[in-house]
Structure 1
Amino acid sequence: MEIRTERLLLRPLRESDRAEVIEIQTDPRTNRFNPDPPSVAESEQKFDQWLTHWGEYGYGYLAAVEAGTGELLGVGGVANRRFGDEEVLNLYYRFSPGAWGKGYASEMAAAVVAWAEREVPERPVVISVSVENVPSIRVAERLGFTDYTVADYFGLLSRHYRRG
């Protein structure tokens, strides 16, 4: 699975991405809405889980690479998740602070959602966002997600949006 957008190459994560992804995941700026930011060890474990998901399902979270330079800007995509009593695809994205404000999250998310709705239509795409994370809420709403519940998500009061 590889997706190209106007400015991005979205490709499967690989072991060589580990250090950069861990740096993004643990950067305090990327966790400003997270009251319990992940440690390096937790981020390493999560990265391993993401690689395992790829091996099991043939899709998952992707490296978001700037097409022109090859620079890894962030990570995101969809992965299987149980939400309540439903199997869904969780939309996730986290970009390095240097990539913020340029529309990369929206560009990546739109391409991934289109892929998911075409390739895995039996699972609705959902996104869970801290109620304080206004930039991510805007991305979800711009992509046509609708707010359907507010609930705790890993200890964080979150808005849950869905498509489909």
Structure 2
Amino acid sequence: MLTEIKTERLLLRPFTEADRQEMVAIETDPRTNRFRVNPPDEPAAHRMFDAWLAHWTEHGYGYLAVRDHQDPALLGMSGVRLRDFQGEKVLNLGYRFHPSAWGKGYAVEAASASVHWAERELAQAPVLISVNVINKPSLRVVERLGFTNYEEVTDEDGAVVRNFRR
């Protein structure tokens, strides 16, 4: 079971119930949803958080709370969760950060640590990341992580999404 990942600046650890309100606020912030066709409202964000906790209970890993070593405030999340992609079990790489954390390299640092952990500990499933084609900041993160274009599809919300693998 994953307990925590430390990087130069960040601590990534399993979510706890105490993280719920901060993460729901990040997930429902209009600034963090500017590229989502169907952004979550507060009840949907609570259901997402419940699903993250349930994934941890079932699998012993999942999305992680991300904090700076020097600051107790939640910066956001990163990590991998099991997902079915076109009949294949993959590890979905996710990351979302509070706008105050943008532009500081936290997404690349946290996602890179998450990917390296997953490739080492869960090598039986490939890591995949799905990004809306209009989300240029996230596409830059994907590029810096070393992922390459895998497939472009239209998702259930009508957004054109690129699915990347390393």
Same fold? TM cut 0.5: yes
Give the share of equivalent positions with the same residue, in percent.
56
Kept in 2: contact 1:13–1:51 (CA 8 A) = yes
Aligned residues: 163
Local SS of the residue matching 1:151: strand
- Tell me, in whole angstroms, the C-alpha distance in 2 between the residues paired with 1:131 and 1:54: 29
Q: How big is each residue's C-alpha offset from its partner over 1:101-140, in whole Å with a ceiling of 9 and x where there is no partner? A: 0000000000000000000001000000000001111111
Which of 46-55 and 148-157 deviates more? 148-157
Who is 1:53 aligned against?
Answer: 55
The letter for the 2-side match of 1:88 is: V
Structure 2 counterpart of 1:162: 165
**1:69 to partner: Cα distance:** 1.3
Structure 1 position 154, deviation (Å): 3.3
1:88-103 correspondence to structure 2 within 5 Å:
88-103=90-105
Contact kept in structure 2, 1:128 and 1:153, CA below 8 Å: no
Q: Is the 1:60–1:77 Cα contact (8 Å) retained in structure 2?
A: yes
Distance 2:98 2:126 in 1: 27
Structure 1, unpaired ranges of 5+: none
Residue correspondence of structure 1 range 56-135 to structure 2 within 5 A: 56-135=58-137
Greater displacement, 129-138 / 145-154: 145-154
Deviation at 1:145, TM superposition (A): 0.4
2:46: which partner in 1?
44
Residue type at the aligned position of 1:145: F
TM-score (norm 1): 0.97
The equivalent residue for 1:31 is 33
What's the offset of the Cα at 1:5? 0.4
For residues 41 and 75 of structure 1, the distance between their equivalents in structure 2, rounded to whole angstroms, comes to: 19
Which segments of structure 1 move beyond 4 Å, counting only runs of 4 or more? none
* Gapped regions of structure 2 (runs ≥ 5): none
Identify the residue that residue 148 of structure 1 maps to in structure 2. Answer: 150
Offset of 1:141 from its aligned partner? 1.0
CA distance in 2, matches of 1:153, 1:24: 23
Structure 2: distance between partners of 1:100 and 1:154 = 28
